[in-house]
Each structure stands twice: as C-alpha cells, then as structure tokens.
Amino acid sequence: MKIYALLFIINVNVPLLFCSSNYVISGYIRDIETGEELIGAYVFVDSIKKSSISNNYGFYSITLPCGGYLLKYNFLGFEIIQRQIDLQNDTIIDIYLKKMPIELEEVHITAQNNYSSSLKYIQLSTKQIKELPSIFGEPDIVKALQLEPGIKNIGDGSSGLYIRGGNRDQNYVLIDEAPVYNLSHLIGFVSVFNPEMIKDVKLYNSYIPPKYGGRVSSILETNMKEGNLNKHSLSAAISTLSGRIAIEGPIAKNKSSFFISARKSSFDLFIEPSKDDFLVPGFYDLNTKINFKFNNKNRLFLSMYHGYDIIETYEEYINLWGNTTSTIRWNHLFNQKLFSNMSLIYSKYYNNLTFTNDTSKFDWITGVNDINFKYDLNWYKNPDSKFGFGLNTIFHKFTPGESNYTQRNISRSRAIENSLYIFHNKKINSLDINYGLRLANFFNIGKTTWYTLNEQYIPVKEHNEGKGIWNNYGIIEPRINISLNIKNKHNYYLAYTRTSQFMQVLSNNTMSYTFFETWIPASPNIKPLISNNLFSGYTFDNKIFNTSIEVYYKIIKNQIDYKDHATLINNPCIESELRRGKAYAYGIELSLKKQSGKTTGSISYVFSKVYYIIKNITFDEKYVAPYDIPHDFKILIKRQLSPKLNFSTFWTYTSGRPTTFPVAHYYLDKHEQDNEIKNVPIYTNRNTERFPNYHRLDLNLSYKTIGDKKVKHEIILGLYNAYARKNPLGYSFDSFDYGMGNNVLVYHFYTIIPNISYKIKFN
C-alpha cells in the first residue's frame, strides 16, 4: 500500500517539478451568430484566480504555468463557455459565445463578476440602449448616457454631454477612432449615432487611460458593427422621427464581411417651411464598414460615417452642418503576447449659416478638418502584467469663421498635435495598479493672421505668419489608478489623471442647442486647457445589487468665457472677446443598481458644483458655470413582463441651470441720420439666475419575437414627458417697459410626446 501511495505522489508531482515553464493561451472571442469579435469579454481561471479581458478587437492573451486548467469565457448577455486544457505549450483558442436565450435573461451576467477590470467606465450594448425610454421612439446613445449618474442634461432636445464639471466640448467623441465634432441631429433631439450601427460603447469619465488624450473631461468610444461573417441579413425600422435600414453579411464566408446602415428623417419629407411650420429640420446619415481577415495574424478594417443636417425657416434662414469620418485600421499579431493596431483616420466637420432678406445675403462658414495617424502596441507579459505603448499625430485645419464680407473673416489656421504614451497595468494579489504617462505637444503652423492684445484685450499689433512653426506648447500628463478588490465584492479605488486640450468651442450657450459654434485652436492668446482630476470611490457587488459611491475634484486651467456683449461673428479679432481663468468642479455620486431578476433598475443622486474664476468677469470673483446643476436625482426601472415583452420607466429631477437675465434696457441711437434705435440690455452679475427646476417622466414598452425565425419583429411604444411638464428651453427678452419689466418670451419643447417605432429583420 505504501508503494502505491509513493507511486501516486511521484506521478502527480514529478510533472510539476519538470514543468516550470510558462505558456501562453491566446485567441479571439467572437459572437457565434455573427462572427464579430466581442470587446471586453472575460476569460477566468478559477483555480489560480487569474483572468484576462479581450481588447477593442476581441483579442485576449493569458500566460500560465504548464498544467491542467478549466477556463471560463464570459461576456455580458452571453452564455458562459468552459474549456478544459492541459497546457504544455503555447496554445491558440478561438472562442465563439452564444447569446443567452431571452427566456433566461432574468439572470444577468454582469461585468463586475469575478476578476473584472479595475478600470471604471460605463459600457452600453445595443440591447441595453433599445430597452431604455427614448424621444420620438428613436433609441439613442447620448440620451441613454444622460440617464447615468454624473452626466448632465441641460434641457430637452440637447445632445450635449456635461460630465463632472466639464463643458460639452471637453468630451472626445470617437466613431471607430475618428473624432466627431458635433453630436447633434435634428437640433439636438437625437445624436449622430444610428442605433443599428453600434457594436460597443464605452465612456471613460473617471480614470482616463494614457492611450486617450485631446480632451479634459471624458472619452466616449464607439465601435461600429463589422458585419456578419456567416450569413446575410436585412433589417428596416421606422419611428416617429425617421426611417432606417441596415444590410450586412459575408463577402467571403468567415474571411471578410460588410455592414451598411442608413437613416433619414421624416419631418422634412412632408413639411415645407411656412408661417405655421416656421422651422423645419431634416437629416440623414450613412455608416459603412468592411473587414478582411487575411490570416490569424493580420486583419484590415475600413469604415466610414457621413452625416448631414439642414434647418430651414420661412424667413429664408438655412443652417447646414455635418460630420464625415473614415478610418483604415490594420491589426497585426506579432506573437501570442504582442498585439498592434495601426490607424489612418480622416475627419471633417462643417457648419454653414445663410441669412437672406430683400436686399442682401449673409453666409457664415466654420469647420475643422483632421488627418490622423495612430499606432498602438500591447504586450501581455503575464496575467498580472500588461504594457502598452503608442503614438499619435494629427494635422488640423481650422476655419473659425468666414463670410461674404471677406474683410471681416477670422483667419484660417493650421496645427499639428502630437502625443506619445506608455502604460503598465499590474496586479498584485487583490491590488490593481494602472499607471502611465502621456506626452502631448501642439504646434501652430503655416500662414495665418493673429493679434497681440494689451492688458485691456485691445489688439495692438497684427502678425502675418508665413510657413513653419510659429507657436508651440508641450504638456506632461501623468495618470494612475489604484484599485483594491476584496473577495470580488468590495472594490476601493483612487485615481489621478492630468489631461490637456488644445482646442475649444465658441458658441451661444443660452439655449440647450445653438445654431452657432466654431472650434478655435490654442494660440499665443488662448492657452491649452489643463485639467488635474482626482477621483475616489467604493463599490459593493454581490451579483444582485451593485452599490457605489464616488467623489471627485478637478481644477481646469485656462478655461475661457466671453466678455459681456461679445461679438463672435464677423470679428477677425475674436480672441479679444475672450477671457481666461480657472474652472473648479467637485461632487459626490451615489447609486444603487439591481442587476438581476425580472425587475432591474437603478436609483442615483448626485450633488456637484462647478464654478469659474476668470479675470475681468464679475470683478474677478467666482461665479457658477452655465452648466452648474447642483442636484441630480434619477430613477430607472426595467421589468421583463414576458420573454417577448419589456417595460421601462425613467424619472429625473434636477436643479435648474444658471442663466443671466437683463434687469433693464437703455436705448442708443445707431446713426444720427436715421431714426433706428438700438436696444441694449443691462445685466447683473454672470449666471446669478436659474431656470426652474427640471423634472420629467418617460415610459417605454418593447415587444420582440424570439426563437430562430427567419423574420423577426420589434415594436417599441412610449411616452416622453408623460405628465406634460413644461420645462423651458430658453428665454427671449425683446424690450423693457418701465413699470412692467421685461417682455419675456419663453421657449418650450413639446409636452407629452407619444413614441412608436417598428423594426423588421430578415435573416
């Protein structure tokens, strides 16, 4: 008996004595139905508490000592797959996950389970977006994000994101790595994101990894669908707002595929501008993507987005704007630990205004053109250590403002923005440390005209630059995130990021949407934004409930604002209208989420403040920012009524946003030779008044067929602003009558808006 026991011990332990090498398991995690890679999928090794996560291209890599392991693969909304492996050499395992049957969706697999990433971000899927209440029955990414705690909405019909004390231009919005400069369709009622084209959405609003830069508040990263590698499908949908269609399928099965989606508004098809229908908006957008899988180590992606908007009025006012982006990406796998991505990106944004009357016509043109080269390299050293390196060069062309009065044009300018980053993600038992460094610089180059300003911001010298570099900035951005995970339930984290931004937007922000905006670059008169951000938080996750509390504090240097009565159009010395100072923001965010069962949802409360201290405005004293909304309360409830039927409701209550009202007017003769009189308002200190508190209730009911039918249907019914709250969009003050006060015109959005949409899909 002793001999058998000895032989058993030798048989078990001798291989371990000679098996001291580490080997790599790597591959791609894909959707079995479409063949598309899954972003952020997890692989777990329970026996030794190791894990890995797939990157933006579905690739994962995990290094383990040789031996036997049970691997578990998991992705939100998909079934868990297990693989038993005897690891004796480097191994490639491509995994195909199957979506969870709708009948089982009352049990949700969440990204917080087990050994999830220590980086905190908001992630949305197309399914989640479609289950949420929407306006006009149009599922929308931005409107879905506005339901999250800490993300402010300054009014109905706004596609702006105001995140933790940041202005709407301080969010870097990407479609397949290409920047989008204007998020609005239909004057802000919906965003540029067609719900049919979305594969994955991530919002980094706490710790921003070093690979991202260019904005100081957040990064919104969206990825388009790549197209089904296995079979062709066609879907079409119509809502109160628009019609849309999507086609996808293989070019060569399992090797290449395509995806095409298009969307067109319906209002402008049936309505012409008139006295009754004074303002008629319309839009369309188009998304296309092609991918080629040459072999297991090389893959090429080609994607394009084009969007167009038009607003016409009865009084011959026309506003045209649009975004166009295209991206070429090449993924290359050097070996099972070393993954690279190279991208060439083009982005164009334009915004054109035309006013016409009986005697004259006025045009105003603004825009930004970018050409961008990126290279990223990831090294998966082992399950506890990952390194990354990358570089980025962007060539910018700015058109700040041009009209048919050429002598009043704002000079065009060019710039080059470079960045270099390195990061290391290290896990030590229950401690995760993510740290890195980003180096950014900005060069003003080429022909342009700018002005030296004196202490009173009066132009005193004109500079006419020629070729080459004539101004530059360099900024160092350290970043670190420390996370402590205890028993996979309690997570404590502390993060610091330094971010910079070399361009800012000028706009009329008195309304939730503005027809006028122009992007201007850093220059000798406009310093780059530099933000120092500190975050700390705690989350508790027991797979049923997720509770979190997070506090933040940030200081933004070189924040700009306008002087009173600033002239932003037809002003070649536009920089003289701006003042520079600091923005301060702080807040606390509390949330409770129920994430499993037939009834799920969340409740959150946020208290936050953001204020400016800017020289020569309000006597150099602090004043609240125009998007300071101290109290923000949100409730979201989702109920699975049956495998086919889902109900959701959302209610929000927030403080009214700040504004500045005139307290009086004075009258000034414009010319002595005529009788025309100019009415000039007199204001108190900046942003001392507020809109009424904002609150709204939305309802949503969705029905969809299930099973393996070749034809699937989906119907969404809803009510936006169900109890008809009149939340002001803005105010207009035509004059001031003594004894009567201001003549005030209040702008409102529609009250109750019934929503309906229908979608059919052919497989």
The secondary structure of 596-628 as a DSSP string is SSSEEEEEEEEEEEEEEEETTSGGG--EE-TT-
Place of tokens 């969870």: 100
Q: Select the more confidently predicted residue: 2 or 142.
A: 142
Nearest to 721 by CA among 666, 642, 652: 652
275-284 per-position pLDDT tens digit:
665 677 899 9
Distance CA 703, CA 523 (A): 54
pLDDT, position 508: 67
Rounded to an integer, the average pLDDT of 236-264 is 93
For residue 12, the model assigns a pLDDT of 42
pLDDT at 479 over 90: yes
Higher pLDDT, 412 or 513: 412
Please check the confidence at residue 665 and state whether its pLDDT lies above 90: no
Tokens 């296309």 found at: 288
DSSP letter assigned to residue 78: B
- Of 119 and 9, more confident: 119
Model pLDDT, residue 677: 55
- Average pLDDT of the chain is 85
**pLDDT class for 707, splitting at 50, 70, 90?**
low
Predicted confidence band at 15 (pLDDT cuts at 50, 70, 90)?
very low
Are the C-beta atoms of 192 and 138 separated by less than 8 Å?
no
Instruction: Read off the tokens for 746.
Output: 């209040």
Look at residue 5 and tell me whether its pLDDT is greater than 60. Answer: no
SS (H, E, C) 111-172: CCCCCCCCCCCEEECHHHHHCCCCCCCCCCHHHHHCCCCCEECCCCCCCCCEECCCCHHHEE
On the question of pLDDT at 733 being above 80, the answer is: no
* CA gap 611, 166 in Å, rounded: 11
Q: How many residues does the chain have?
A: 763
Q: How confident is the model at residue 397 (pLDDT cuts 50, 70, 90)?
A: very high
As a whole number of angstroms, the longest Cα–Cα distance in the chain is 121
Single-letter code of the amino acid located at 414: R
Which residues contact residue 649 at a Cβ distance below 8 angstroms, ignoring those fewer than 6 apart? 133, 636, 637, 697, 698, 699, 700
Distance CA 406, CA 409 (A): 5
How far is 704 from 712, CA to CA, in rounded Å? 7
Which distant-in-sequence residues (6+ apart) come within 8 Å of 740 by Cβ?
A: none
Mean pLDDT of 25-53: 86
pLDDT for residue 88: 87
Are the CB atoms for 576 and 570 separated by under 8 Å? no
* Coil vs helix vs strand at 15: helix
DSSP 389-412: EEEEEEEEEEEEEEESSGGGPBPP
**Residue at 757: amino acid letter:** S
Q: Report residue 605 as tokens.
A: 């409360």
Q: pLDDT at position 517, please?
A: 81
Tell me the pLDDT band of 173, cut-offs 50, 70 and 90. Answer: very high
Q: How confident is the model at residue 302 (pLDDT cuts 50, 70, 90)?
A: very high
Q: Give the pLDDT of residue 563.
A: 85
Return the number of other C-beta atoms located less than 10 Å from residue 231's C-beta.
14
Q: How many whole angstroms separate alpha carbon 417 and alpha carbon 475? A: 11
Q: Which of 150, 149, 161 is nearest to 554 (CA)?
A: 150
Task: Please compute the mean of the pLDDT values over residues 657-670 and round it to a whole number.
Answer: 72
Number of CB atoms found within 10 A of residue 466's CB: 8
Task: Give the residue with greater pLDDT, 227 vs 508.
Answer: 227
413-428 and 694-704 as β-strands: parallel, antiparallel, unpaired? unpaired
Confidence of residue 672 (pLDDT cuts 50, 70, 90): very low
pLDDT at 224 over 90: yes
pLDDT band at 524 (very low <50, low <70, confident <90, very high): very high
Q: Name the residue among 439, 492, 535, 515 with its Cα closest to residue 207.
A: 535
| CB 727 within 8 Å of CB 748 | yes
- Does the pLDDT at position 105 exceed 60? no
The structure tokens listed for 244 are 């849309």
Task: For residue 110, give the H/E element and its range.
Answer: none
Tell me how far the alpha carbon of residue 575 is from its chain's centroid: 28
CA 515 to chain centre: 21
Question: Rounded distance, CA 129 to CA 522, Å?
Answer: 36
pLDDT, residue 666, reads 67
Tokens at 512, concatenated: 């939730």
pLDDT of residue 278: 64
- Beta-bridge partner residues of 87: 67
Instruction: Tell me the pLDDT band of 734, cut-offs 50, 70 and 90.
Output: low
By 3-state DSSP, what share of the chain in percent is helix, strand and coil, each rounded to 5? 5, 60, 35
CB 79, CB 51: distance < 8 Å? no
CA distance 227 to 302: 12
pLDDT for position 135: 77
**Domains of the chain, with CATH numbers?**
2-104 (2.60.40.1120), 190-762 (2.40.170.20)
- The residue whose two tokens read 């949330």 is 591
The mean-pLDDT minimum among 83-97, 163-177, 547-561, 601-615 falls in 83-97
